[in-house]
């Protein structure tokens, strides 16, 4: 069954609740991504193209922590991570700590399709982007006034500043042939050290897809998702332990990550097109759409 889900990050509800106008902007951003991805599926396209279309939309939207509007390192720079995975052939491509690639998810896909590698980082990844003719931009392109302010609050230790949703983005999809795909893109954590890599670009941690099992994209405290091999844990629980997708996601979030002190959210789709969107934080920006008529955008 055609199905797609997107997320725009998970975190505690902000101290000052989002205004109705802000909520509308987030909802519109999520709906645009969901619809871009679903349009690909509807015209018979591949899940891989659908998740990429959705994530590119969110990378372009400055509200979300991916591409423009990325969270900043403690020095005030954007360093971006992304990963895409094709469940059909278990191929993956990822990039980490790139500073000039307008759409990191596009570069991740080029790594998957045009290189012999899975993960390229920093200058090497950007050299490859140049060779591939992808759009490169100055680092300032990614920096927004809101992220600069968020960084200042975080460095000053303003209470609660580190807890609001960071806005990492991701998508999972099932296409007409039952092929699954996942994609995740992020600026990482606010005030992270230069060179820090989170879970999002790591296959099996923040992103994973295997046909017949599921496709997963995660958001939350990346270090704990890495240590839990979270996305792979969901898939293997479905595949080898016979858990339902919902039970596998529930267990991963609450029995693996939470006891380590980590919170976050996971979106996932299985081979039947069943979608799960679950989180242990106060909020997760999210959307789901399928061929059975489900259409849901929620904060």
> Which residues make up the interface to ligand ASP (CB under 6 A)?
9, 166, 168, 186, 188-189, 198-200, 206, 219-220, 222
Nearer to ligand ASP, 45 or 198 (CB): 198
Nearer to ligand ASP, 198 or 204 (CB): 198
Longest dimension (CA), the chain: 51
Long-range contacts of 258-262 (CB under 8 A, 24+ apart): 260/224, 260/227, 260/228, 261/221, 261/224, 262/220, 262/221, 262/223, 262/224, 262/225, 262/228
Nearer to ligand ASP, 143 or 179 (CB): 143
CB of residue 284 vs ligand ASP: minimum separation in angstroms? 10
Q: 240, 258 in Cβ contact below 8 A?
A: no
Q: Which of 168, 184, 252, 281 is catalytic?
A: 168
CB of residue 168 vs ligand ASP: minimum separation in angstroms? 3
Nearer to ligand ASP, 70 or 271 (CB): 70
Residue 185 CA, chain-centre distance (Å), reads 5
CB of residue 225 vs ligand ASP: minimum separation in angstroms? 6
CB of residue 76 vs ligand ASP: minimum separation in angstroms? 17
Question: CA-to-CA distance for 169 and 82, rounded, in angstroms?
Answer: 9
Label residue 24 exposed, middle or buried (CB < 10 Å: 0-12, 13-18, 19+): exposed
Long-range contacts of 153-159 (CB under 8 A, 24+ apart): 154/190, 154/191, 155/74, 155/191
CB of residue 90 vs ligand ASP: minimum separation in angstroms? 22
Q: List 7's β-bridge partners, or say none.
A: 170, 286
User: Can 207 be counted among the known catalytic residues?
Assistant: no
The 275-279 sheet, strands edge to edge = 207-210, 214-220, 264-270, 275-279
Nearer to ligand ASP, 219 or 252 (CB): 219
CB of residue 280 vs ligand ASP: minimum separation in angstroms? 13
Nearer to ligand ASP, 170 or 273 (CB): 170
Phi, psi of 112 (to 5 degrees): -65, -45
Q: Which residues are marked as active site?
A: 168
């Amino acid at each position: 069954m055609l199905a797609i889900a997107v997320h725009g990050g998970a975190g505690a509800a902000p101290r000052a609740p989002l205004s109705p106008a802000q909520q509308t902007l987030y909802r519109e951003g999520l709906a645009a991504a969901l619809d871009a991805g679903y349009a690909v599926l509807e015209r018979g396209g591949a899940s891989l193209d659908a998740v990429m279309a959705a994530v590119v939309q969110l990378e372009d939207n400055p509200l979300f922590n991916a591409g423009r509007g990325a969270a900043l390192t403690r020095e005030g720079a954007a360093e971006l991570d992304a990963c895409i995975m094709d469940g059909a052939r278990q191929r993956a491509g990822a990039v980490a700590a790139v500073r000039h690639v307008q759409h990191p998810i596009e570069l991740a896909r080029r790594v998957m399709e045009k290189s012999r590698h899975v993960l390229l980082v920093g200058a090497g990844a950007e050299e490859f982007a140049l060779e591939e003719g992808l759009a490169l931009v100055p680092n300032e392109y990614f920096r927004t006034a809101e992220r600069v302010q968020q960084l200042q609050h975080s460095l000053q230790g303003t209470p609660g500043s580190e807890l609001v949703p960071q806005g990492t983005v991701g998508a999972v999809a099932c296409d007409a042939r039952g092929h699954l795909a996942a994609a995740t893109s992020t600026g990482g954590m606010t005030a992270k050290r230069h060179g820090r890599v989170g879970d999002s670009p790591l296959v099996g941690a923040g992103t994973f897809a295997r046909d017949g099992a599921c496709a997963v994209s995660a958001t939350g405290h990346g270090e704990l998702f890495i240590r839990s091999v979270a996305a792979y844990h969901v898939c293997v629980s479905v595949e080898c332990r016979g858990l339902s997708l919902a039970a596998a996601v529930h267990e991963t979030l609450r029995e693996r990550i939470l006891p380590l002190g980590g919170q976050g959210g996971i979106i996932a789709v299985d081979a039947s097109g069943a979608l799960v969107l679950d989180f242990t934080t106060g909020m997760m920006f999210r959307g789901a759409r399928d061929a059975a008529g489900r259409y849901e955008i929620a904060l």
